[in-house]
Amino acid sequence: MTAETTGPVPGAAGGADDDGARWAPGDRILWRYRDNGDGHVHICRPVTVVRDTPDLLAVWMAPGTECVKPVLVDGTPVHDEPLATRYTAPRTTTRARWIGTGVLKLARPDEPWSVWLFWDHGWDFRSWYVNLEAPRVRWSGGVDSEDHFLDISVFPDRTWLWRDEDEFAQAQRAGLMDAAQARRVREAGAAAVEVIRAWGAPFADGWENWRPDPAWGVPELPADWDRTPARTAP
């Protein structure tokens, strides 16, 4: 057991800090996504660092965290908009609390996806979620990425299924992703499926048994959550 958790951290030995830009367990950073159209930050989630090595960034988003998310200009949730106009209707951002249990996010450098772990109440493990996205760009206050619409759910019995294929197709029709990028996303998804079928990291690493340190509490959303960062090493 380490100071940052109430349970084991799989592979906690990790790699050496070889670039001097690592965060320590318990540090609070921002996990952000940029809009696929104009590149402004439209999703921002304050998280707590669990582990940061050259091989893996693991962060915890606590229940009740205040986040930034996109909405339509009249306040309608994005997913309530019909698919045909979901990516063309004017949008803005709003602040909202994360509802439900917390989320553990795992990301390897240069991999075009991150893996999220979800639990039901009582720490009953539910599933992994492979979020296909651009490799994260690190900066002093966190990481930035771009969501690629297509996702994969993975279950404890090792079954899996594609998610949001309709949104992936609609994003292409709306001009948010050209054919070359869509092909690369599909290739990334196929690579992720190979990892799932082989039951490789992080699925076999025991992260579902991990628990956060209760002393961490809930990070605050800073007023300058959308600031332009000074970039650091990836």
Whether the CB-CB separation of 153 and 127 falls below 8 Å is answered with: yes
Q: Report the share of the chain in percent with pLDDT over 70.
A: 89
The CATH number of the structural domain formed by 27-209 is 2.40.380.10
Residue type for position 231: R
Contacts made by residues 19-22, CB under 8 angstroms, sequence distance 24+: 19/54, 19/233, 21/138, 21/232, 21/233, 22/52, 22/53
Question: Rounded to whole angstroms, how far apart are CA atoms 97 and 36?
Answer: 23
Per-residue confidence (pLDDT) for residue 231, from 0 to 100: 56
**18 pLDDT exceeds 80?**
no
Maximum CA extent, the chain: 50
Provide the whole-model pTM: 0.89
Q: Is the pLDDT of residue 15 over 70?
A: no
| pLDDT recorded at residue 230 | 65
User: Structural domain boundaries of the chain?
Assistant: 27-209
Is residue 91's pLDDT more than 70? Answer: yes
